Amino acid sequence: MTELGTFKNVLLSNDDGIATLTINRPKSLNALNSATLEDIGKALDVVKSHADDVKILVITGSGEKSFVAGADISQMQSMNSIEAANLSKLAHNSFEKIENLPQFTIAAINGYTLGGGLELASSCDIRVATNKAKFGQPEVTLGIIPGFGGTQRLTRLVGRGKAKEMIAMGTMIDAEEAFRIGLIEEIVEPENLVPKVKEIAKQIMKNGLIAVGMAKYVIDRGADLPLDVAIDFETQLWAETFATKDQKEGMSAFLEKRAANFQNK
């Protein structure tokens, strides 16, 4: 295990190609204040710059109770509209960095995932949660709307009706319901969270990671384009994979009946 950087509210380590970014404010249930959002942004820059030795990024929360219980209400309470816009932009900046990372990202969800926490998890490529986790967009209970992408990313994950229901009710759903509506991809006992995330990460790492990164990119970018334009975009990236050594290796390995040894080149 190697530490990749030191930040006030975020831990960042790398274990054999699997980096873990831990939001570390357990006394506030890992609530996101400006300093934490800035730390997340800096930590993501480090992850991007370590693309040679970091293959997968796991994002999680410190402690057993919470992934992230939302934006920090004590900071937001006295903010004016300009300060609110700035906080929202800070979060957008970090969450867009997550989506644009070349590495595949997994949210390892260990508890309350509320407001900005659900918006953070929704920015990851997939979500693995314990059966104790609880999810919600409770912003309207505070007199505001989701401001870190929740009206858009949650809608793209679960559909308009379910997103509107969750946002308008402001109540929490449990992990079973989150799984049923497609908000999380896996549900596990708490003791199996880390093993399950590692199992998924290791399976992905066996594959051509340039191809994994391209697939993630075209899925995300293509989702907002008309189908014919998105299909053209897929064709372009598909063709580009034939310029990689990984394509030669993957197909040779298949024909030679051996495991592929991808170099990510």
Among 13, 16, 17, 28, binds ligand CO8 (CB under 6 A): 28
Report the alpha-carbon distance of residue 122 to residue 146 in Å, rounded: 13
146 binds ligand CO8 (CB under 6 A): yes
Report the alpha-carbon distance of residue 167 to residue 121 in Å, rounded: 16
In sign, the C-alpha dihedral spanning 97, 99, 103, 104 is positive
Q: Annotated catalytic, 119? A: yes
Q: Which string of x and - marks every residue 70-109 that binds ligand CO8 (by CB under 6 A)?
A: xxxxx-x-------x--xx---------------------
Q: Annotated catalytic, 139? A: yes
In sign, the C-alpha dihedral spanning 124, 195, 4, 241 is negative
115 binds ligand CO8 (CB under 6 A): yes
Among 10, 12, 23, 31, binds ligand CO8 (CB under 6 A): 31
Among 147, 186, 209, 213, binds ligand CO8 (CB under 6 A): 147
Report the alpha-carbon distance of residue 13 to residue 60 in Å, rounded: 12
- Out of 99, 139, 186, 256, the active site residue is 139
Q: Using the minimum distance from each CB to ligand CO8, give the nearer residue, 147 or 208.
A: 147
Q: Which stretch binds ligand CO8 (CB under 6 A): 23-31, 178-186, 189-197, 213-221?
A: 23-31
- Out of 119, 191, 234, 240, the active site residue is 119
